[in-house]
Amino acid sequence: MFALILLFLFFLKGLNAVWGGAIIGLIAGIIIALIGDGFNWFIIYKSIVMGILMGGVAELFWLISSKLKSK
């Protein structure tokens, strides 16, 4: 649920780490699903969510560093 909220928050902000994480998660999930025993959609879903959350953490670190840099 938190990953879905992050996607909506960063939808119109242009290129960002949240959407980049989602795309990388999608690609990694498809590769893992193709290599494994049969195609499993749940693996793709989990990898996309992990990518979104990792992108959210990257955006949070960027926000914190830019606030500390401006002081």
Write out the chain's pLDDT in tens, 71 residues: 778 788 787 777 777 888 899 999 999 999 999 998 888 899 999 999 999 999 999 999 998 999 898 87
Q: How far is CA 20 from CA 8, 31, 36, 37, 38, in A?
A: 14, 17, 24, 27, 27
The per-residue pLDDT of the chain, averaged, comes to: 88
Q: What is the pTM of this model?
A: 0.82
The single-letter DSSP state of residue 12 is T
Structural domain total, the chain: 1
Asked if the structure places residue 49 within a domain, the reply is yes
Contact of 58 with 21, CB cutoff 8 Å: yes
Cα 14 to the center of its chain, rounded Å: 14
Range(s) of the domain holding residue 31: 14-70
**What pLDDT does residue 47 have?**
94
**What pLDDT does residue 49 have?**
92
Asked if the structure places residue 9 within a domain, the reply is no
**What pLDDT does residue 40 have?**
86
